Structure 1
C-alpha cells in the first residue's frame, strides 16, 4: 500500500468503511442470532474502528515510524489494549446513557467518544514516547 495513493483522510475513510462492513456482518450473523440486543451492536462497530483511527496515523506520519521498530509482541499487545479499551469504553458509554431519554444517535455518539478515548488513552499509556515532541518535551 502506497501512502501517496490517497491522502490521509482517504485511507481513514476507506479503513473505517471496511471495518464498519466487517462489524455489521459480524453483528448480523453472530450477535443477532446469539440474542444480543441490537442496541449493543454499536459496540462492535466502535471496537472495530478504533484500531483504524490509531494505526492509520502511525502508518501515515513519518515522525511516528519508530513505532514499527517495536517487537511483534508489543504491537499485538497494543492492539489488544486498543480493542479491549474500545469495547469497554463503548459499553460503559451505552450503559451510562441508558434510561436518560436521549435519542439513540446521541447515545451512540457518547459511546463512540468514550470508547475511542479509552482506547487511545490505553495506547498512549503504553507508547508515550511516540507522542512526545521531537525536541524532547
Structure 2
C-alpha cells in the first residue's frame, strides 16, 4: 500500500468503509445467529473502527514509524487491548442506556464515544513513547 496514493483521510475512509462492511457481515452471519441482540451490533462496528482509526494514523505518520519495529507479540497485544477495551466500553454504554429511554442515535453516539476513548486510551497506555516528542523530559 502506497501512502502517497491517497491522503491520510482517504486511507481512513477506505479502512472505515471496509471495516463497516466486515462488521455488518460478522453481525449478520455469525454473532446474530448465536444470539447477539441487534442493539449490540454497534459494539462490533465500534471495535473494528477503533482499530482503523488508531492504526491508519500510526501507519501513515512518518514520526510514528518506530512502532512497526516492535515484535508481533506486541502488535497482537495492542490489537487485543484496543478491541477488547472498546468492546467492553461500548457494550457497557449500550447496556446502561438501553433502559434510559434514549433514542438509538444518542445511544450509539454515547457507545462510540466510550469505545473510541477507551480504545485510544488502551493503545496510548501501551505505547506512551510513541506520542512523546524528543524535547519531552517525562
Shorter-chain TM band: over 0.9
Length, aligned pairs only: 137
Task: Tell me the secondary structure at the aligned position of residue 76 of structure 1.
Answer: helix
Q: Which runs of 5+ in 1 are unaligned?
A: none
* Alpha-carbon displacement from aligned partner over 1:22-73 (angstroms, at most 9, x marks no partner): 0000111112222221001111111111110000000000111111111111
**After alignment, is 30-39 or 103-112 more displaced?**
30-39
Cα distance in 2, alignment partners of residues 75 and 136 from structure 1: 25
Cα distance in 1, alignment partners of residues 89 and 111 from structure 2: 7
Cα distance in 2, alignment partners of residues 33 and 79 from structure 1: 25
Q: Which runs of 5+ in 2 are unaligned?
A: none
Residue 67 in structure 1 maps to residue 67 in structure 2 = yes
- Runs (4+) of structure 1 exceeding 3 A deviation are none
- What TM-score comes out, normalization by structure 2 length? 0.95
Residue 103 in structure 1 maps to residue 107 in structure 2 = no
Match of 1:50 in 2: 50
* Alpha-carbon displacement from aligned partner over 1:104-126 (angstroms, at most 9, x marks no partner): 01100110110111111011001
Residue 38 in structure 1 maps to residue 38 in structure 2 = yes
Task: Tell me the secondary structure at the aligned position of residue 34 of structure 1.
Answer: coil
Residue 15 in structure 1 maps to residue 53 in structure 2 = no
Match of 1:89 in 2: 89
Cα deviation, residue 96, structure 1: 2.0
